[in-house]
Chain A
Amino acid sequence: MSTKKKTLLEKYDIPISYLDFAYVEKCTNPREMEKIVNILRSGEEGYYPALTKRAEEKLLELKPNSKLFRTEEDLLTKSSISLKEWESETNPIVDWSSDVKNVDKFLQKIGSSSNENCVETVPRKTKKIILGGNTTKDTKTSDSKSQNRIKSTDYSAWDKFDAETEILKMDLEEEKVKEEVERMNRLNLQSSKDLNEDLKIDHLTMIEREKLAVSFKDRGNDYFRAKEYQHSLKEYNKSIEIFPTAMAFNNRAITNIKLKDFKNALEDSKKCLEREPGNIKALFRKAESLLGLNRNSDAVDTYLDIMEIEPSNVHALKAYNDLSGGYSSNRKAKGTRIMISDGSTGDSNESADLRKNKDVKPKKKVEDYSELIKPEKTVKNKFFKAMENISKKPTETPPPEEQLNLNFNLESSKANKVLIEEI
Chain B
Amino acid sequence: MDKPRMIEHIGHAVDYTVFDVKWIPCSAKFAVLGSKPKGTGVLEIYELNETKVDLVKSIEKKSSFKCGTFGASSLRNRFMAIGDFDGRLQILDLERPEIPIFNTKAHNGIVNAIDGIGGTQINCGAPEIVTGGKDGSVKVWDPRQNDEPVVDISPPESSSSRDCWAVTFGDSHNNSDRVIAAGYDNGDLKLVDLRKLAVRWEKTEKNGVCSIQFDRKDIPMNKMVVTTLEGGLHVYDMRTQHPEKGFASVSEKNAGRSVGSNGVISGPKATVWAVKHLPQNRDIFVTCGGTGSLRLWNYEYPGKRKLKDSDEKEYGVAGSIYLLNSTAISTQPAHCFDWNTDKMGLGVVGAFDQTVRVLVTTKLNLY
In the complex formed, the residue of A with least CB distance to B5 is A76
Contact call B28/A420, Cβ cutoff below 8 A: no
Contacts A101-B28, A126-B148, A185-B314 given; does A75 touch B154 at CB 8 Å:
no
Set of chain B residues within 8 Å of A135, measured between Cβ atoms:
199, 202
Least CB distance from A115 to B in Å reads 9
10 CB-based A-B contacts, threshold 8 Å:
A73-B327, A76-B5, A96-B28, A119-B126, A123-B150, A125-B150, A128-B154, A136-B198, A184-B200, A193-B173
Contact call B126/A123, Cβ cutoff below 8 A: yes
Contact call A90/B9, Cβ cutoff below 8 A: yes
Interface residues of B in 113-134 (CB under 8 A from A): 118, 120-123, 125-127
Contact call A199/B219, Cβ cutoff below 8 A: no
Query: CA of A123 to CA of B50 in the docked complex: distance in angstroms?
Result: 43
Q: A70-B326, A77-B7 are in contact. List 13 more A-B contacts (CB 8 A).
A: A41-B264, A74-B328, A89-B7, A97-B28, A119-B127, A129-B152, A129-B197, A129-B198, A131-B154, A184-B200, A185-B314, A199-B123, A215-B341
Contact call A184/B155, Cβ cutoff below 8 A: no
Set of chain A residues within 8 Å of B152, measured between Cβ atoms:
126-129
Set of chain B residues within 8 Å of A132, measured between Cβ atoms:
156
Contact call B120/A212, Cβ cutoff below 8 A: yes
Set of chain B residues within 8 Å of A90, measured between Cβ atoms:
7, 9, 51, 360
Set of chain B residues within 8 Å of A137, measured between Cβ atoms:
199
Segment with Cβ contacts to A, from B63-71, B99-107, B206-214, B240-248: B240-248
Query: CA of A185 to CA of B367 in the docked complex: distance in angstroms?
Result: 28
Contact call B48/A97, Cβ cutoff below 8 A: yes
Segment with Cβ contacts to A, from B32-40, B227-235, B279-287: B279-287
Set of chain B residues within 8 Å of A185, measured between Cβ atoms:
239-241, 314
B58 proximal to A (CB < 8 A): no
Query: CA of A189 to CA of B175 in the docked complex: distance in angstroms?
Result: 17
Query: CA of A122 to CA of B238 in the docked complex: distance in angstroms?
Result: 28
Contact call A420/B122, Cβ cutoff below 8 A: no
Least CB distance from B161 to A in Å reads 9
Chain A 86-102 interface 0/1 with B at a Cβ cutoff of 8 Å (1 = within) = 10011011101110110
Set of chain A residues within 8 Å of B151, measured between Cβ atoms:
124, 126-129
Query: CA of A416 to CA of B128 in the docked complex: distance in angstroms?
Result: 42
A42 proximal to B (CB < 8 A): yes
A344 proximal to B (CB < 8 A): no
Total number of A residues with any Cβ neighbor in B under 8 Å: 91
Closest 5 CB pairs of A and B: A192-B173, A97-B28, A104-B27, A121-B126, A123-B142
Q: B residues touching A (Cβ–Cβ < 8 Å)?
A: 5-9, 11, 24, 26-29, 48-51, 74-78, 95, 118, 120-123, 125-127, 142, 144-145, 148-156, 159, 171, 173-175, 177, 190, 192, 194, 197-200, 202, 215-216, 218-222, 238-243, 258-264, 279-283, 293, 301, 313-314, 322-323, 325-329, 341-343, 346, 357, 359-360, 362, 365-367
Contact call B76/A188, Cβ cutoff below 8 A: no
Least CB distance from A109 to B in Å reads 9
Contact call A107/B76, Cβ cutoff below 8 A: yes
Contact call A111/B200, Cβ cutoff below 8 A: no
From B48, B202, B263, residue with most partner A Cβ within 10 Å: B263
Query: CA of A211 to CA of B174 in the docked complex: distance in angstroms?
Result: 19
Contact call B26/A69, Cβ cutoff below 8 A: no
Contact call A104/B149, Cβ cutoff below 8 A: no
Set of chain A residues within 8 Å of B341, measured between Cβ atoms:
215
| Contact of B28 (CB < 8 Å), options: A100, A178, A182, A191 | A100
Segment with Cβ contacts to B, from A9-17, A216-224, A305-313, A392-400: A216-224
In the complex formed, the residue of B with least CB distance to A139 is B156
In the complex formed, the residue of B with least CB distance to A41 is B264
Contact call A131/B76, Cβ cutoff below 8 A: no
| Contact of A72 (CB < 8 Å), options: B175, B293, B365 | B293
A153 proximal to B (CB < 8 A): no
Query: CA of A55 to CA of B51 in the docked complex: distance in angstroms?
Result: 45
Set of chain A residues within 8 Å of B322, measured between Cβ atoms:
65
In the complex formed, the residue of B with least CB distance to A195 is B174
Contact call A94/B219, Cβ cutoff below 8 A: no
In the complex formed, the residue of A with least CB distance to B94 is A108
Contact call A93/B95, Cβ cutoff below 8 A: no
| Contact of A421 (CB < 8 Å), options: B8, B238, B365 | B365
Contacts A41-B262, A72-B328 given; does A107 touch B26 at CB 8 Å:
yes
| Contact of B50 (CB < 8 Å), options: A41, A94, A117 | A94
A187 proximal to B (CB < 8 A): yes
Least CB distance from A29 to B in Å reads 19
Contacts A126-B150, A132-B156, A192-B219 given; does A71 touch B281 at CB 8 Å:
no
Set of chain B residues within 8 Å of A96, measured between Cβ atoms:
28, 342-343, 346
Chain A 305-339 interface 0/1 with B at a Cβ cutoff of 8 Å (1 = within) = 00000000000000000000000000000000000
Contact call A100/B263, Cβ cutoff below 8 A: no
A110 proximal to B (CB < 8 A): yes
Chain A 203-214 interface 0/1 with B at a Cβ cutoff of 8 Å (1 = within) = 001011001100
| Contact of B313 (CB < 8 Å), options: A68, A178, A219, A227 | A178
Contact call B220/A189, Cβ cutoff below 8 A: yes
Set of chain B residues within 8 Å of A212, measured between Cβ atoms:
120-122
| Contact of A221 (CB < 8 Å), options: B145, B198, B281, B293 | B281
